[in-house]
Amino acid sequence: MGEQKVAKPRQKPAASPAAKKPAASAPAAKGSAAQAASKSKGNDAQAPSEAWLARFRPKPNPLFFALFASGCIWILALYQPCVVKGTKRDCGYSGISTGTCRTLACFIKSPGPYQKKKLKVKRADGESLGLALEQRPDAYVVQSLQPDGAASKHNSELASGSEDMVLPGDRLVKIGSSSGKDMAKELKGTSAKTVALEIQRSRLPRLLQFLHSGKTKPNLLETLLSAPGLAHFSSLWQFMAMVAMPGWFISGYPLSSLPAYFTMSAAVAFQLTRCCHDEKVPEGVPHCYQSNRESMPKLLRKVWSDTSALAAAFTKDPRAHLEWAFLPGK
């Protein structure tokens, strides 16, 4: 019998190192997926506040910004702040340039560091004013108020923030008809009467009183902050900003667009506040003078009145108002 041949089992080819790489890359794939998920969560956590606001706001619409911009142009086109009736108030100095007059003059012209106020304090019999004062060459400066004094009781009867309060830092320049050293006797009085006080108070806002230098001549910062021009500019800008905020919110645009509204409001407020310059004025009339200082509601009523008058005139004779466009030679 012939020899039987035994079939050798087939050997599987050895796996090459390259074939094992996909298995090794599995953890790397998991790691990259985890990193992507982590990055996505980080982006979600750092999403700006606009995402939250978007829940309550409509889709962006440029109409509201266009309306606000048109309103600003409408005010500047029809209101003439430099047409001043009556006496023109000087807000410059000899030799002031046109540019300085129209830009800085109204913000650096200060009437002085102090405003005068006259107060009446009721004093009961046997009661003193209750003022702790520091004597200075030209005035007594209020340091503090005694709780049981007439001045403290006077303040308690007034509304919070009233300008008729007696406050620390006030300069007491007259009591009744007495001033200077003669006030010492009046300060010691305890008879029942209504005491008339004349005080000087820094023009700075109450929250900025700590910047007051205490000198007769204000420093530059105090001059800028107490200038009537800045106060008028602030009131106009605040009004414009209060109108701009709802317009921005309804427009649906992100928070980054809000400065555009505020900048436009500031530009309008500045144009309505700045001083005016006129070279052709009679002798004795200032070249650099203060513009009209009207509140925004009053200003808007005047602009609306002028708009109505212009619309009525145009409706009555439209051709007369359009001839300049078609017949420029006339």
pLDDT by residue (tens digit) across 99-153?
999 998 888 877 666 778 888 999 888 888 888 888 877 778 888 898 888 899 9
Q: 296, 236 in Cβ contact below 8 A?
A: yes
Question: Domain of 192?
Answer: 114-217
Span 298-306, mean pLDDT? 93
Q: 175, 183 in Cβ contact below 8 A?
A: yes
244 with 158, same domain? Answer: no
Q: Is residue 138 part of a domain?
A: yes
Lowest mean pLDDT among 45-59, 202-216, 312-326: 45-59
Q: How far apart are CA 287 and CA 98, in angstroms?
A: 9
Please give the single-letter amino acid code of residue 233.
F
250 with 273, same domain? Answer: yes
Lowest mean pLDDT among 62-66, 67-71, 166-170, 309-313: 166-170
Indicate the average pLDDT of the chain.
Answer: 79
Q: How many other CB atoms sit within 10 Å of the CB of residue 21?
A: 9
| Beta strand pairing call for 276-277 and 288-289 | antiparallel
Q: Is residue 33 part of a domain?
A: no
Q: Is residue 326 part of a domain?
A: no
186 with 232, same domain? Answer: no
Question: Distance between terminal CA atoms of the chain?
Answer: 136
Is 128 or 53 the better-scoring residue by pLDDT? 128
Is 304 or 173 the better-scoring residue by pLDDT? 304
10-19, 21-30, 45-54: which is most confident: 45-54
202 with 171, same domain? Answer: yes
Q: Is residue 251 part of a domain?
A: yes
269 with 129, same domain? Answer: no
102 with 82, same domain? Answer: yes
Q: Is residue 211 part of a domain?
A: yes
Coil/strand/helix, residue 202? strand
Q: pLDDT tens digit string along 58-111?
A: 788 899 999 999 999 999 999 999 988 888 888 877 788 899 999 988 888 776
* Total of domains in the chain: 2
78 with 172, same domain? Answer: no
123 with 197, same domain? Answer: yes
Please give the single-letter amino acid code of residue 172.
L
Residue 126 sits in a domain whose CATH number is 2.30.42.10
162 with 204, same domain? Answer: yes
Q: Is residue 256 part of a domain?
A: yes
Q: Is residue 51 part of a domain?
A: no
202 with 252, same domain? Answer: no
175 with 102, same domain? Answer: no
**The pLDDT of residue 263:** 94
Q: How far apart are CA 275 and CA 88, in angstroms?
A: 11
188 with 253, same domain? Answer: no
Is 88 or 52 the better-scoring residue by pLDDT? 88
**Is 50 exceeded by the pLDDT of residue 45?**
no
